[in-house]
């Protein structure tokens, strides 16, 4: 069963003085991919700007915009309506020999290597080898997500957006971004190509039609074992009708919802709000 979900995502920045120019990228437009269908998507910027839309290296829709008038605030409002995807059929599970082949390693080399927030650790490497024992690649990947879910404690405020997988594991707590980064480190140690996914998760399993629900950005992972398998290590909820996919990449650095550079005084984030409404 699929859902129809409306998203309203507002981000605001306030500056210590007039900013003369800013150059920005927003990754806030859900793609129509893997059964998900975007029915409407719009981006409104204040001060007014006309975004240039393109698709980046990882297949994510990017709205790039710049502002060349003095301003002390920047507000970006992304709205979308999405028909979500149902559960994906399980792919044919390949064997470890196939995963170790030159063709697979060349195809997915960037998703097997460490990245900015996903680091190699001896303990993770050892654990990864133990997860392979007696398991198919698909089973090992699912076990990796279960390990993170059982080991890490969910605690908002315990980490920040620049926390690495190693730092979050050492702390033993974090949020969905940290759950995803640790799972990615473990999946790559196992030998499974793995990527970070950003988006939204409707928090209510039996959501009422038309009820506006406060939400937030969410993160999960996908690993390749003959086909891409999505898994949500934070909740272990099935990645299906309640999930809205926004972007994919090696880790959070590739999928930041809003990023950019500017000329002016220090910026202060003064608000991020997400509203999620099930329409059908």
| CATH number of domain containing 249 | 3.10.620.30
Q: Looking up tokens 């993770």, which residue turns up?
A: 124
Prediction pTM value: 0.96
Report the pLDDT averaged over residues 203-219: 94
Do 209 and 70 reside in the same domain of the chain? no
- What does pLDDT average to over the chain? 95
Q: If pLDDT is split at 50, 70 and 90, which confidence band does 270 have?
A: confident
Helix axes 176-190, 122-132, angle to 10 degrees: 70
Yes or no: say if 88 and 35 are a contact pair by the CB < 8 Å rule.
yes
Do 174 and 46 reside in the same domain of the chain? no
Do 11 and 101 reside in the same domain of the chain? no
91: in domain: no
| Rounded-to-integer distance, Cα 86 and Cα 22, Å | 39
Domain ranges, residue 192: 96-254
Do 125 and 234 reside in the same domain of the chain? yes
What would the pLDDT profile of 64-101 be if each residue is shown by its tens digit? 999 999 999 999 999 999 999 988 888 888 999 999 99
| Rounded-to-integer distance, Cα 112 and Cα 54, Å | 26
Do 192 and 53 reside in the same domain of the chain? no
| Rounded-to-integer distance, Cα 273 and Cα 213, Å | 11
When divided into structural domains, the chain yields a total of: 2
Yes or no: say if 74 and 13 are a contact pair by the CB < 8 Å rule.
yes
What would the pLDDT profile of 173-202 be if each residue is shown by its tens digit? 999 999 999 999 999 999 999 999 999 999
Helix axes 122-132, 137-151, angle to 10 degrees: 130
Return the CATH number at 46. 2.60.40.2250
90: in domain: no
Do 19 and 112 reside in the same domain of the chain? no
Do 128 and 188 reside in the same domain of the chain? yes
206: in domain: yes
Angle in degrees, CA 166, 172, 174, rounded to 5: 85
Higher pLDDT, 118 or 14: 118
Do 119 and 231 reside in the same domain of the chain? yes
């Amino acid at each position: 069963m699929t859902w129809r979900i409306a998203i309203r995502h507002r981000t605001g920045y306030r500056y210590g003085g007039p900013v003369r120019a800013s150059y920005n990228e927003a990754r806030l437009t859900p793609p129509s991919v893997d059964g998900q269908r975007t029915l409407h998507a719009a981006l409104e910027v204040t001060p007014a700007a006309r975004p240039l839309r393109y698709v980046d290296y990882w297949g994510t829709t990017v709205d790039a915009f710049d502002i060349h008038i003095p301003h002390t605030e920047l507000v970006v409002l992304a709205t979308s309506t999405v028909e979500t995807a149902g559960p994906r059929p399980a792919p044919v599970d390949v064997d470890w020999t196939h995963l170790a082949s030159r063709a697979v390693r060349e195809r997915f080399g960037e998703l097997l290597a460490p990245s900015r927030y996903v680091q190699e650790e001896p303990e993770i490497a050892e654990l990864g080898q133990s997860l392979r024992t007696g398991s198919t690649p698909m089973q090992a990947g699912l076990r990796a997500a279960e390990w993170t879910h059982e080991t890490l404690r969910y605690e908002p405020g315990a980490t920040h957006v620049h926390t690495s997988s190693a730092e979050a594991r050492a702390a033993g707590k974090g949020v969905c971004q940290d759950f995803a980064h640790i799972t990615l480190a473990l999946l790559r140690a196992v030998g499974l190509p793995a990527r970070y996914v950003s988006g939204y998760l409707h928090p209510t399993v039996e959501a009422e039609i038309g009820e506006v629900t406060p939400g937030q950005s969410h993160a999960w992972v996908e690993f390749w074992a003959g086909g891409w398998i999505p898994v949500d290590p934070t909740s272990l909820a099935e990645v299906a009708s309640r999930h809205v996919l926004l972007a994919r990449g090696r880790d959070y650095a590739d999928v930041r919802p809003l990023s950019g550079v500017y000329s002016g005084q220090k910026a202060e984030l003064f608000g991020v709000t997400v509203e999620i409404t099930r329409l059908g």
